[in-house]
């Protein structure tokens, strides 16, 4: 199993002095094999390993941290990042009602069950008035199945009319939802056992008629590589907005989740975690990363490692600040700290003599959501750009904006803010920044 394999790796590294490049390579070779064994797609594994290597070697290697902890931290961070980051992408109900949710996927993937799970969640926790409609004209039992589930959870289903096509039912469902004032309409489409043209054409037509706010691909996480191929095929034809992976309760490895997310680039919104009607969990990258690594003590170790890393980073930064240097990597480090420590009271408050910087951050209106976006912007830049933001031209800014889901104005604001901070750091180091020098000596 992946987690056993990883703990073997970490055991071997434990107790040695520093994390060398050779250590990193050895560990990552094992991680690579382990991920492949966990059925993570090869290109995904390659990508992951390259990323982890880049992070592990060079600047980020901090000698004061125990090597095993450091590798765990890097692998864990890499997994969280590849799974879409710490903050889940929220389920979008932001449209004028009826908000349409389209469920697509192969037969048996769990569409009907998941439609009902989602309906239950929306009606119970969000207090939405939900209508479900089955568009599965090929299997009469499928419509009955949805109706039965609807009764069970007290959610309305569109009355069954024999002999209508999926497109006709879609129109009728939209009409009913509008006339009867439903907030949300969940469309449960038909599936085949394999992806085929007829299935895709029908799904695409339904999507173009119903203009869904969320188009979710439901996929069985136990089917591994097949699920990944399916996801790709659907993604090419449908405006998918997210994934729901079912049978996560049986997928101890989490490999499919990692592959699907990485191959499609789509956020995983929910995980189906059982046959029961309330077994639907909001996707949490940290939990899945923890599961892939192995639960409990390893995750606790990661947290400990993170704290140690923070401290080592703070010392390193203090030395840098003392020399009057403050680049975008430093800003990224600060943002991470601020988030972890709960906003502006973070590392800025711990370093002596930086009240001024704090004031500037506050004046710039930095809040947690903005912090996440700024982190995304910075991580979309190359290493050279982070070190020397002056080299960013208009076209690179546009690319970065697209990559980070931000706009160019936001990048410019971030750069301006960084310039101000860098100037302040410079001024302070010149003006006898005793605090910095002190920290540097520690
Ligand atoms: P559809 O053909 O895509 O509509 O699939 P169904 O919703 O009919 O589900 C097929 C089977 O998978 C049913 O027996 C479900 O109970 C089961 N199922 C769906 N989701 C999950 C899940 O998250 N975990 C488990 N263990 N079973 C599930
Ligand atoms: Mg079904």
CATH of the domain at 147: 3.40.50.300
Tokens standing for 241?
A: 């907005």
| Domain assignment present for 296 | no
Q: Which of these three, 35, 50, 82, is where a domain ends?
A: 82
Ligand 1 atom index nearest CA of 108: 2
- Tell whether 253 and 357 lie within a shared domain: no
| Domain assignment present for 39 | yes
Whole-number Å distance, alpha carbon 348 to ligand 1 midpoint, is 50
- Tell whether 73 and 175 lie within a shared domain: no
Backbone φ and ψ for 239, nearest 5 degrees, come out as -75, 70
Q: Are strands 268-272 and 280-282 parallel, antiparallel or unpaired?
A: antiparallel
Whole-number Å distance, alpha carbon 277 to ligand 2 midpoint, is 14
| Domain assignment present for 93 | no
- Tell whether 108 and 237 lie within a shared domain: yes
Q: Is 98 helix (H, G, I), strand (E, B) or coil?
A: coil
Number of domains in the chain: 3
**What sign does the CA torsion over 150, 155, 159, 163 have?**
negative
| Domain assignment present for 56 | yes
Whether residue 405 contacts residue 376, with contact meaning beta carbons closer than 8 Å, is answered with yes
Q: Judge if the beta carbon of residue 113 lies within 6 A of ligand 1.
A: yes
pLDDT at 121: 95
Whole-number Å distance, alpha carbon 253 to ligand 1 midpoint, is 19
pLDDT at 8: 63
Q: Judge if the beta carbon of residue 281 lies within 6 A of ligand 1.
A: no
- Tell whether 124 and 11 lie within a shared domain: no
Q: Which of these three, 16, 50, 82, is where a domain ends?
A: 82
| Domain assignment present for 33 | yes
432 labelled binding-site residue: no
| Domain assignment present for 339 | yes
398 labelled binding-site residue: no
pLDDT at 349: 40
Whether residue 260 contacts residue 219, with contact meaning beta carbons closer than 8 Å, is answered with yes
- Tell whether 73 and 186 lie within a shared domain: no
> What counts of helices (H) and strands (E) characterise the chain?
20, 8
pLDDT at 216: 96
- Tell whether 176 and 323 lie within a shared domain: no
pLDDT at 306: 59
- Tell whether 15 and 146 lie within a shared domain: no
pLDDT at 91: 87
25 labelled binding-site residue: no
Between CA 372 and CA 360 the distance in angstroms is 18
- pTM score > 0.80 for this model? no
Q: Judge if the beta carbon of residue 150 lies within 6 A of ligand 1.
A: no
pLDDT, mean of each 10-residue run, the chain (442 residues): 58 56 76 74 84 68 55 77 83 91 93 97 93 91 95 96 94 97 96 83 94 95 78 89 90 74 89 92 85 52 56 71 79 73 43 47 61 87 89 91 88 89 77 45 36
Strand partners, 216: 103, 242
Question: Can you tell me the ipTM of this complex?
Answer: 0.99
- Tell whether 207 and 242 lie within a shared domain: yes
Q: Judge if the beta carbon of residue 273 lies within 6 A of ligand 1.
A: yes
- Tell whether 353 and 403 lie within a shared domain: yes
Between CA 12 and CA 265 the distance in angstroms is 34
Task: Provide the residue range defining the domain that includes 46.
Answer: 2-82
- Tell whether 124 and 241 lie within a shared domain: yes
- Tell whether 267 and 413 lie within a shared domain: no
CATH number of the domain encompassing residue 387: 1.10.260.30
| Domain assignment present for 301 | no
Contacts of 240 (CB under 8 A, 6+ apart): 104, 215, 216, 217, 234, 264, 266
Whether residue 235 contacts residue 266, with contact meaning beta carbons closer than 8 Å, is answered with yes
pLDDT at 431: 59
Backbone φ and ψ for 247, nearest 5 degrees, come out as 55, 30
Q: Judge if the beta carbon of residue 118 lies within 6 A of ligand 1.
A: no
Ligand 1 atom index nearest CA of 109: 3
| Domain assignment present for 423 | yes
Q: Which of these three, 253, 273, 289, is where a domain ends?
A: 289
20 labelled binding-site residue: no
- Tell whether 65 and 189 lie within a shared domain: no
């Amino acid at each position: 199993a992946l987690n056993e394999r990883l703990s073997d790796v970490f055991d071997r590294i434990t107790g040695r002095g520093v994390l060398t490049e050779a250590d990193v390579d050895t560990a990552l070779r094992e991680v690579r094999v382990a991920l492949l064994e966990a059925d993570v797609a090869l290109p995904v594994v390659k990508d992951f390993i390259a990323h982890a290597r880049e992070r592990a070697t060079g600047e980020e290697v901090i000698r004061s941290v125990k090597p095993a902890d450091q590798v765990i931290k890097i692998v864990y961070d890499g997994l969280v990042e590849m799974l879409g980051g710490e903050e889940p992408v929220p389920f979008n109900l932001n449209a004028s009602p009826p908000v349409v949710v389209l469920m697509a996927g192969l037969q048996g993937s769990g569409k009907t069950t998941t439609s009902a799970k989602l309906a239950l969640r929306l009606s119970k926790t969000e207090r939405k008035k939900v209508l479900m409609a089955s568009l599965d004209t090929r299997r009469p039992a499928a419509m009955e199945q949805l109706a039965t589930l609807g009764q069970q959870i007290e959610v309305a289903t569109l009355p069954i009319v024999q002999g209508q096509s999926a497109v006709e039912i879609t129109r009728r469902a939209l009409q009913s939802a509008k006339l009867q004032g439903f907030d949300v309409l969940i469309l449960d489409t038909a599936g085949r056992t394999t992806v085929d043209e007829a299935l895709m054409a029908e799904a695409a037509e339904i999507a173009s008629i119903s203009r869904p706010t969320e188009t979710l691909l439901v996929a069985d996480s136990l089917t591994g590589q097949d699920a990944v191929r399916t996801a790709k095929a659907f993604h090419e034809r449908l405006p998918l907005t997210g994934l729901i992976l079912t049978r996560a309760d049986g997928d101890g490895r989490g490999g499919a989740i990692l592959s699907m997310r990485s191959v499609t680039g789509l956020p995983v919104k929910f995980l189906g975690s059982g046959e029961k009607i309330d077994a639907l969990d909001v996707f949490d990258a940290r939990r899945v990363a923890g599961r892939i690594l192995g639960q409990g003590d390893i995750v606790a170790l990661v947290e400990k490692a993170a704290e140690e890393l923070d401290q080592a980073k703070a010392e390193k930064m203090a030395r840098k600040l003392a020399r009057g240097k403050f680049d975008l990597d430093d800003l990224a480090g600060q943002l991470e700290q601020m988030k972890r420590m709960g906003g502006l009271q973070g590392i800025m408050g711990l370093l002596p003599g930086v009240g001024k910087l704090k004031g500037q951050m506050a004046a710039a209106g930095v809040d947690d959501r903005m912090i996440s976006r700024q982190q995304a912007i910075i991580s979309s830049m190359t290493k050279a750009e982070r070190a020397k933001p002056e080299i960013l031209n208009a076209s690179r800014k546009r690319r970065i904006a697209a990559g980070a889901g931000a706009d160019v104005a936001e990048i410019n604001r971030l750069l301006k803010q960084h310039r101000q901070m860098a100037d302040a750091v410079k001024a302070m180091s010149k003006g006898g920044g005793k605090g910095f020098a002190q920290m540097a000596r520690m």
